[in-house]
Chain A
């Protein structure tokens, strides 16, 4: 079988390979191949950075095995007696106090405490260069980190896996996860990283493949590194919340069904983080962090259950306070009757959270926002509203995800490399971006209309005016 390989020019390590035939027919693979060829890569074997990978065509009997992984690193060993005796005064200090300490946890594992101790002592990190990388068959989900102090510890890799729906674990899955961390890693878990990925830390190079396979077997698929769609974070939603307006859990399942290739094969200019919140309370903080933020919304004014309201007030519910704290002063309460001014109400959920007799109105859907991020060229940006109310129809939520795919297609086509979606929208302007995506403008998209007259007209629009004249 003729294989096309992309390899490290320095050590010859094969970073990714495809069947030549498959590469000609599979558009997804072609995109990935083109992307990798242009991308700067970090070799997992010799940890050098290369701007250009070497291309080779080789005749292979079967897919290559783990032998290709050169320069094996010693597997993490149980901490030697001597190291345990090394004093760690700074770390010990962090074990004091009532809150459970991460140091106590780290000390129970094979993590090299001296790396952390030295960091605290010298006031600087002891870890060196790192980045996302891939091994044959696993394009996304592995992160390498070199050590700046090889005298203490070698570099350590970590494997990222997606948390199950609602971050619920059966103890069977949870114990399987512990087994993987014990067998291949330091025995420390990150539950969870801030995008709700599970991280298994300290996996030596030659065990990466086994770790991935065992995690997948336990039902925890890996991914969420590199310039791809990342893990999609959803709120607990229908699993244990009465506020939820759309089925966020089913939406996350549909996301993984539809976009799994985009999640596991990086090919975009930069990462794209998805956040789903079932209602405007936004428990996943999507309106701050989501490159694509999907938030459940409702259009009709909040509904008031009169009988229940009387009950609630009789039992000590402080309705006057709720009315006073309404952010747009849309509520009125004369001691007997509660009214909500539908024109002034912004559907913020405050009264609904506080008073069980007020419930969200009908006509529900999701708002789609794009471009949230915390770093990058223009600093923290909150995502910009693209569409205020998109119907969310299970099981596949086609309208919502079609729009998301359109947004990321435009981004893929037009953005510069390593430019986050928010920076790209900031650079192009929301008007131009919406034209590119092809969504109709809505008044909900603006806090206020523009105050300058500097907008563009297309030649067609000018032509139309000339004709009329």
Chain B
């Protein structure tokens, strides 16, 4: 029966962590993928971080092999970071090279600390989701392959986080990352009358943010194409509202999000490419666009400047020139919070 809550700390925490609970004083990045933390007592704790398969999908076959490694090298404990990288904590420094080789043997690259490309975060996409406009795991895989070398070495001015969401529900958090990919639907939801008749019509009407959905007697709804913003809200409460069209669905690229308070403070990423078509299995247009944005950032930014901070310094107009991105009427905001992103002065960057 559920209702027990969390297990006691001792059950899953390694002794070195319990011993030095809240007594850490310093840390240092020994090399990409290897961290050294120092406790008050002078005790040193080495951590090895490795990238995981895209979408954080792990078969039990791989999971058991990782558990074997954890038994062998880290005293029987392992952890995952908030970006779903694998970490083995408390590794004997003399055996780090051996561990890195063993992780490589499992296909897991070691890196992703400091000024590197970090593990991607993506939603389930077409593996197991009903809404996805694009296949986030495959896009994540394509981008990870493209930037693989940058995961292993520190070439960037600051860290680079890339997240991919299959639709605007943003389970994959595209808008939180330095560079995000957001799947977008562009066509109206198809209304299947007999299915809608079995759903709660007032709820379908009320979840629509723009009032585009109106009841259609006797027992169905209609969608106003002028008002619909393709937000997927109506598809969640009713199976009769079917969104998704293979010919017009695609994805958008957003840039400049981050959560930390340093630099320019927490911000969501902004749309810079309003639409790219779906081109499975490798999405070459997307990897090309990401590569383009990354390279102008690497050239232009100061040390410790994440993409959002760099753009805040040089201005979005300059960024579009530098990145060679075409302007589009879709990028000007016209939704409820639009005055926040519209220019009101004449301080341009030419």
A168 touches which of B79, B144, B232 (Cβ 8 Å): B79
Q: Does B145 count as interface, using CB distance less than 8 angstroms?
A: yes
Which B residue sits closest to A89, measured CB to CB?
Answer: B281
A314 close to chain B: CB less than 8 A: no
Interface of chain B: mostly helix, strand, loop or mixed: loop
- Pick from B5, B135, B304: contact of A120, CB below 8 A: B135
Which chain A residues border B332 with CB–CB below 8 Å?
Answer: none
In angstroms, Cα B54 to Cα A137, docked, is 34
Interface membership of B141, Cβ < 8 A: yes
Contact of A145 among B55, B66, B128, B266 (CB under 8 A): B128
Indicate if the CB atoms of A349 and B261 lie closer than 8 Å. yes
Whether A164 pairs with B199 at a CB distance below 8 angstroms is no
CB pair A192 B209 closer than 8 Å: no
Does A327 sit at the interface, judged by CB under 8 A?
Answer: yes
Q: Chain B contacts of A6 at CB under 8 A?
A: none
Q: Which residue of A lies closest to B237 (CB)?
A: A40
Give A356 to B36 CA distance when docked, in angstroms: 14
Contacting B at CB under 8 A, from A91-135, are 91, 93-94, 96-106, 108-109, 111, 115-116, 119-131
A416 within 8 A of B: yes
Q: Chain A CB within 10 Å — which of B51, B165, B232, B260 has the most?
A: B260
Residues from chain A with a CB closer than 8 A to the CB of B137 are 102
At the interface, yes or no: B256 with Cβ under 8 Å from chain A? Answer: no
Bound CA–CA A434/B206 (angstroms):
25
Q: Chain B nearest CB: distance from A340 CB in Å?
A: 15
A240 & B37 in contact (Cβ 8 Å cutoff): yes
User: Nearest Cβ in chain B — how far from A165, in angstroms?
Assistant: 6
Please tell me which one of the listed residues B59, B232, B303 contacts residue A105 in the complex, with CB atoms under 8 A apart. Answer: B59
In chain B, positions 273-308 with a C-beta closer than 8 Å to chain A are 278, 280-282, 302-305
Contact A178 B51, beta carbon cutoff 8 Å: no
B3 A108 Cβ-Cβ under 8 A: no
Q: Which of A106, A164, A187, A240 contacts B89 (CB 8 A)?
A: A240
Could you give 13 example pairs across A and B, Cβ below 8 Å? A97-B141, A100-B108, A123-B246, A128-B130, A129-B239, A137-B2, A158-B128, A171-B67, A188-B57, A196-B82, A240-B17, A241-B27, A321-B304
Q: How many contacts A-B (CB < 8 Å)?
A: 371
Chain A residues near B77: list those with CB within 8 A: 168-171
Q: Are B260 and A219 in contact (CB under 8 A)?
A: no
Contact of A98 among B148, B176, B245, B280 (CB under 8 A): B148
Q: Does B216 contact A (CB under 8 A)?
A: no
B344 within 8 A of A: no
Q: Which residues of B contact A101 (CB under 8 A)?
A: 53-54, 141
CB distance from A136 to the nearest CB of B (A): 10
Contacts of A94 in B (CB 8 A): 138, 141, 281-282
Which of B4, B89, B126, B303 has the most A CB atoms < 10 Å from its CB? B126
Residues of B within 8 A of A111 (CB): 127
Known pairs A91-B281, A99-B141, A125-B132; A260 contacts B5 (CB<8 A): yes
Q: Any chain B CB within 8 A of the CB of A82?
A: no
Q: Is A187 touching B265 in the complex (CB atoms < 8 A)?
A: no
- Give chain B interface residues in 201-242, CB to chain A under 8 Å: 203, 206-207, 209, 231-233, 236-239
* B61 at the A interface (CB under 8 A): yes
Given contacts A124-B244, A171-B67, A216-B1, is CB(A249)–CB(B198) below 8 Å? no
Chain A residues in 8 Å Cβ range of B129:
125, 127, 145
Which stretch from B92-100, B166-174, B322-330 is at the chain A interface?
A: B166-174
A164 touches B7 (CB 8 A): yes
B346 contacts partner chain A, Cβ-Cβ < 8 Å = no
Which residues in B have some Cβ–Cβ distance to A below 8 Å? Answer: 1-7, 9, 11-14, 17, 21-22, 24-27, 37, 45, 47, 51-64, 66-67, 70-71, 76-82, 84, 89, 107-109, 121, 123-132, 135, 137-138, 141-142, 144-145, 148, 165, 168-173, 175-176, 198-200, 203, 206-207, 209, 231-233, 236-239, 244-247, 249, 257, 259-268, 278, 280-282, 302-305, 335-337
Q: Could you tell me if A379 and B203 are in contact, using CB atoms closer than 8 angstroms?
A: no
Contact across chains for A100 and B268 when beta carbons are under 8 A apart: no
| CB atoms of B144 and A99 under 8 A apart | yes
Q: What's the minimum C-beta distance from A39 to chain B, rounded to whole angstroms?
A: 9
Q: A191-B84, A219-B11 are in contact. List 9 more A-B contacts (CB 8 A).
A: A48-B198, A101-B54, A165-B9, A170-B76, A194-B121, A194-B171, A196-B82, A236-B81, A284-B259
- The reply to whether B145 and A190 form a contact with Cβ atoms under 8 Å apart is no
In the complex the two chains form, is B4's CB within 8 Å of A327's CB?
no
Is A228 close to B, CB under 8 A?
Answer: no
Pick out which of these stretches binds chain B: A15-23, A286-294, A438-446, A452-460: A286-294
